[in-house]
C-alpha cells in the first residue's frame, strides 16, 4: 500500500464495513481503517487499532499518509449516548473535532481540499408534537432532544464553518442526515431506530422479538445499499452543485405494525410482543416520521432504489436468509 489513502473511522461499525466493501468494489485499493478493536481482515485495507481521541495516533497518521478522502463514521448512537453522555460527547464532539483537525492538516500538507464525509442523523430534529409533515433541513432542528442529536448538529455546524474550500485549501465538508438504516447482514448497536433491524433479524433466526416502541410509531428508513449509494453520490458530485452542507435522505416510513406485517409475510412463524421503553419511546416521538429529501434529489440526484416492498423482496430477505443459512 502506498501512502496515498482513503481514511475511514469507525470501520467496524455497520456502515463502515459496508462502505469499505463498496469502495473495494469500485476499485479503491488504499484504505486505512481506524477502530478500537481489530475484527476480521478486510481486503485492501490497513487496519489501525486505536481511538479518534488519541491525538498522538492521529498525528502519526498525518505524518505517514496523504489522505484524499475522510469518512468519519465513528460515533456513539442515540440510546447509548443517553446512557453515557460523557463518553458520548467525548467521542461524538471531541473525537469529531480531532478528525476535522486531521483533515485541515492534510489540506495544508498536500495543498489541496480534503473531501470529508460526515453521517448526521434525523436525531438533529426535535418535533414539538408528533406531526406527519415532511420535515425540511431547516425545520425543527434548533434544539435536539438527545445528546447524540445535539452532537451531530454541533459537528454539522463546525464542519460547515471549517469548509474554506471557496477561498483556500481545507475540508470539503459533506453531510447526510440519515434516517434509520436497515442492513441484512449486520445489526446496529446503541441506536433507537434499532427496533426495525432487530425485529427482522430476530424473525430470520426464528426468534420472537420484544419491541420497545409503540405499534403506531413511524420513522423514516432506508436500506444499507441505498445509504452507501447516497454517500458515493454526494462525495462525487461537484462542490458547485451542493447548496447545503447537510442533506436529508429517505425512502419509506412504515409504522412498527406495518414492519411487523411485512416481516410476517416472509417469516410466517414470527411472533412479536411489546414492552415499551419510555425513554426510547420519547426519543422516537421527538424524531420526524417523514423527511423531505427534495434538496438531495435536486442538488445531487439522490433517489432511493428500494421502497419497502422492494427492500424486503430484493435485498433484506435474500441476504438475511443467506446470512442465517436458511433455504430459499
Cβ–Cβ < 8 Å for 191, 77: yes
Of 23, 123, 162, 320, the residue at the interface with ligand AKB (CB under 6 A) is 123
Cβ–Cβ < 8 Å for 109, 63: no
Work out whether 126 is an interface residue with ligand AKB (CB under 6 A): no
Work out whether 192 is an interface residue with ligand AKB (CB under 6 A): yes
Work out whether 121 is an interface residue with ligand AKB (CB under 6 A): yes
As measured in angstroms, the least distance from the Cβ of 25 to ligand AKB is 24
Q: From the CB of residue 132, how many other CB atoms can be counted at a distance below 10 Å?
A: 9
- Number of residues lying near ligand AKB (CB under 6 A): 11
Work out whether 15 is an interface residue with ligand AKB (CB under 6 A): no
Work out whether 78 is an interface residue with ligand AKB (CB under 6 A): yes
As measured in angstroms, the least distance from the Cβ of 257 to ligand AKB is 19
Cβ–Cβ < 8 Å for 94, 53: yes
Question: Three cell numbers at 167?
Answer: 477561498
Can you tell me the distance from the alpha carbon of 83 to that of 80, in angstroms, rounded to the nearest whole number?
A: 5
As measured in angstroms, the least distance from the Cβ of 10 to ligand AKB is 13
Angle at the Cα of 323 from the Cα atoms of 317 and 327, rounded to 5 degrees: 65
Can you tell me the distance from the alpha carbon of 107 to that of 169, in angstroms, rounded to the nearest whole number?
A: 6
As measured in angstroms, the least distance from the Cβ of 229 to ligand AKB is 18
Can you tell me the distance from the alpha carbon of 22 to that of 15, in angstroms, rounded to the nearest whole number?
A: 10
Work out whether 122 is an interface residue with ligand AKB (CB under 6 A): yes
Work out whether 263 is an interface residue with ligand AKB (CB under 6 A): no
DSSP state of 186: -
- What residues numbered 166-185 form the site for ligand AKB, per CB under 6 A? 178, 180
Work out whether 193 is an interface residue with ligand AKB (CB under 6 A): yes
- Judged by CB, which is closer to ligand AKB: 45, or 192? 192
Residue 250 Cα distances to 41, 67, 131, 162, 214, angstroms = 32, 30, 17, 27, 21
As measured in angstroms, the least distance from the Cβ of 297 to ligand AKB is 20
- CA 147 remoteness from chain centre: 16
- Judged by CB, which is closer to ligand AKB: 170, or 188? 188
> Interface with ligand AKB by CB under 6 A: which residues?
77-78, 121-123, 148, 178, 180, 191-193
Amino acid at each position: 500500500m502506498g501512502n496515498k489513502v482513503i481514511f475511514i473511522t469507525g470501520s467496524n461499525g455497520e456502515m463502515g464495513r459496508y462502505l469499505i466493501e463498496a469502495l473495494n468494489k469500485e476499485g479503491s485499493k488504499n484504505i486505512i481503517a481506524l477502530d478500537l478493536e481489530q475484527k476480521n481482515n478486510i481486503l485492501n485495507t490497513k487496519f489501525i487499532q486505536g481511538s479518534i481521541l488519541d491525538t498522538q495516533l492521529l498525528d502519526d497518521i498525518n505524518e505517514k499518509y496523504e489522505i484524499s478522502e475522510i469518512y468519519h463514521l465513528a460515533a456513539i448512537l442515540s440510546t447509548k449516548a443517553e446512557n453515557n453522555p460523557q463518553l458520548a460527547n467525548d467521542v461524538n464532539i471531541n473525537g469529531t473535532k480531532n478528525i476535522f483537525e486531521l483533515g485541515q492538516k492534510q489540506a495544508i500538507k498536500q495543498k489541496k481540499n480534503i473531501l470529508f464525509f460526515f453521517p448526521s442523523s434525523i436525531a438533529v430534529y426535535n418535533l414539538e408534537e408528533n406531526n406527519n409533515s415532511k420535515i425540511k433541513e431547516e425545520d425543527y432542528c434548533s434544539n435536539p432532544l438527545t445528546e447524540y442529536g445535539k452532537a451531530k448538529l454541533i459537528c454539522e455546524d463546525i464542519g460547515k464553518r471549517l469548509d474554506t474550500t471557496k477561498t483556500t485549501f481545507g475540508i470539503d465538508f459533506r453531510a447526510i442526515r440519515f434516517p434509520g438504516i436497515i442492513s441484512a447482514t449486520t445489526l446496529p448497536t446503541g441506536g433507537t431506530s434499532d427496533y426495525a433491524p432487530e425485529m427482522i433479524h430476530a424473525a430470520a433466526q426464528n426468534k420472537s422479538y420484544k419491541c420497545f416502541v409503540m405499534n403506531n410509531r413511524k420513522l423514516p428508513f432506508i436500506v444499507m445499499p441505498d445509504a452507501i449509494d447516497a454517500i458515493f453520490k454526494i462525495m462525487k458530485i461537484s462542490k458547485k452543485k451542493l447548496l447545503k452542507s447537510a442533506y436529508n435522505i429517505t425512502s419509506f416510513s412504515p409504522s412498527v405494525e406495518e414492519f411487523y406485517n411485512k416481516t410476517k409475510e416472509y417469516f410466517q412463524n414470527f411472533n412479536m410482543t411489546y414492552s415499551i421503553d419510555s425513554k426510547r419511546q420519547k426519543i422516537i416521538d421527538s424524531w420526524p416520521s417523514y423527511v423531505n429529501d427534495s434538496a438531495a434529489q435536486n442538488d445531487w440526484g439522490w433517489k432511493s432504489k428500494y421502497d419497502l416492498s422492494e427492500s424486503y423482496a430484493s435485498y433484506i430477505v435474500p441476504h438475511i436468509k443467506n446470512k442465517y443459512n436458511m433455504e430459499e
